């Protein structure tokens, strides 16, 4: 027997390189697939913050009075059994009285100056909780006609409204930090 070194046939060399090439293509395909599917299934690496939000289940009747032209203050707030029973009762300087439902208050028209003038006052009181203000925010004393009306709402009414509120968790993407190299660029330069 003679000692001969066996060299792979050219056909075998091609199949090894072919297998390596196919393996590389498979790895690239898997990487692309995991990147695309990772974005769909939340694997994009973004972090989220979870916040507990309180939604009132009872309603409120808020009485506001116009003391000067286009200057309103809350005179009284009373809890009612359901949100649907919520009302805003506005008394104007000219003696007219306007009653708004919660839906009407949400759809408040900018072309109605009487109603838009009382919006900031309403948002400072308990009705603000129904119009988008967080229940964790305190009542604004400046929204009330006097300290008695404010204290009544703060101690009696608000303390009865919050414990009956429904709790839900809201999940929002965490804001990117500010500064150099902290976010993704949205600008594109090119010719």
pLDDT on residue 93: 93
Task: Evaluate if residue 38 carries a pLDDT over 80.
Answer: no
Residue 25 CA: distances (Å) to CA of 13, 18, 35, 36, 39: 19, 11, 15, 17, 22
Pair 66, 72: CB distance under 8 Å: yes
- Quote the mean pLDDT of the chain: 79
- Binned at pLDDT 50, 70 and 90, residue 114 comes out as low
| Mean predicted confidence (pLDDT) in 161-189 | 66
List the single range of 21-25, 79-83, 84-88, 187-191 with lowest mean pLDDT: 187-191
What is the pLDDT confidence band of residue 80, given thresholds at 50, 70 and 90? very high
Domain positions in the chain: 56-168
CB-side neighbour CA atoms (13 Å) of 40: 6
Supply the pLDDT for residue 173.
Answer: 80
Average pLDDT of span 30-43: 69
pLDDT, one tens digit per residue, over 125-146 is 999 988 888 888 899 999 999 9
pLDDT tens, residue by residue, 53-65: 888 889 999 999 9
Q: Report which of 57, 142, 59, 144 is spatially closest to residue 100, judged by C-alpha positions.
A: 59
- Res. 189: pLDDT tops 90: no
Decide the pairing of beta strands 87-91 and 48-55: unpaired
Q: Which two tokens stand for residue 96?
A: 């007219």
């Amino acid at each position: 027997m003679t000692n001969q070194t066996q060299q792979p046939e050219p056909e075998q060399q091609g199949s090894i390189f072919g297998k390596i090439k196919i393996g590389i293509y498979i790895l690239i395909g898997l990487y692309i697939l995991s990147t695309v599917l990772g974005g769909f299934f939340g694997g994009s690496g973004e972090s989220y913050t979870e916040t507990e939000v309180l939604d009132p289940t009872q309603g409120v009747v808020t009485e506001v009075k116009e003391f000067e032209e286009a200057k309103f203050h809350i005179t009284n707030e009373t809890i009612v059994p359901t949100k649907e029973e919520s009302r805003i009762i506005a008394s104007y300087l000219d003696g007219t009285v306007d009653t708004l439902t919660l839906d009407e208050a949400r759809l408040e028209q900018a072309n109605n100056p009487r109603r838009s003038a009382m919006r900031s006052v309403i948002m400072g009181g308990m009705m603000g909780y129904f119009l988008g203000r967080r229940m964790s925010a305190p009542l604004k004393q400046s929204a009330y006609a006097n300290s008695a009306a404010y204290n009544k709402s703060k101690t009696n009414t608000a303390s009865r409204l919050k414990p009956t509120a429904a709790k839900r968790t809201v999940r929002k993407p965490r804001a990117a930090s500010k500064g150099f190299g902290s976010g993704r660029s949205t600008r594109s330069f090119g010719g």
